[in-house]
Chain A
């Protein structure tokens, strides 16, 4: 093979490699464009805490983070410890509100909502919330989760008899159905969806990013004297 020929070969394959590289780079650019959609205030909700809301932190804080979440959603389980740490870190400056948004495709979401609410009647909502998310992979595919739920109640030291009574009560289901309908009207399409002071934020990619967003909001909303 003469020099000219091998030179042509090299140019040809270099062009192919560059072409493939460009395709990959273009794809990365496209995906990151999608992922970094600006924090959109396009969807907003009323920035108030209802009396029946579950709140962690200070109910009267200037900065309110509201999460619409589904106990069976893996992404929600991922965010659960992050939000806990945020709440610990910002203490009284932040109110974290957890609202139920069980997706219809998740068969065990609603039973877990009832479990958390029944535990809430004995002042252990957040403890149950934590156990449910921690154990998500264990119960997500189970046909019957009642035993698991009762096991959680026992481990939290709840009055199990009362817990089971509340869990099975028609009133709880009726009350939750109203809650689900109310939360459905917000018009969100994915979980978790976070609202910071009433404005939807795109889901932060890391704890550090989440912390920055909250810290910024806190700086913009100085404490009332």
Chain B
């Protein structure tokens, strides 16, 4: 019974990371809609990054897309923890590839194109990278687990 426990621990770490990402992206999204015109600040580049032409995709702020992404991950992991059905967790783990690819692009934009670093955007890049790593662990664990003869029903364990 050791493996499912590990998987559950990983799922909880995943949940916590997705929650941090969700808070961060929600903060930036509300900033976008309520903050009106962010002034140009002496010390940091958030306003430059968040008002740049790359801050929107199809008219939607990137922060909002991020918030939705983290929300989907959160719901999938909660669904896994609630039902014990691994496919929820595996879907979430696969989805982290989406997050890390977007994050790499957004970090490249900040470093090389906008040449300003936005602290809150870097937090999101960090959480998506961590989620990707945890997702990999989950995929590896679950594969190993499925290779061993099944002697238990996961939905009873979780």
- Using a CB–CB distance below 8 Å, which chain A residues touch chain B? 12, 16, 20, 23-24, 27-28, 30-32, 35, 70, 73-76, 78-79, 103-106, 189-193, 203, 205-206
Contact = CB atoms under 8 A, between A and B. Distances in A.
Contacts of B39: 73, 75, 190-193, 203
A93 to B, nearest CB: 25
B26 A23 contact: yes
A154 B45 CA distance: 34
Contact of A79 (B37, B38, B75): B37
Interface of B: 22-23, 26-27, 30-31, 34-43, 45, 47-48, 51, 71, 74-75, 78, 82, 116
B35 A35 contact: yes
A27 B23 contact: yes
B36 to A, nearest CB: 4
12 contacts: A23-B22, A28-B30, A31-B31, A32-B34, A75-B37, A75-B40, A78-B37, A103-B42, A190-B41, A191-B39, A192-B39, A203-B36
Nearest to B52: A74
Contacts of B82: 12
Contacts of A27: 23, 26-27, 30
Contacts of A31: 27, 30-31, 34-35
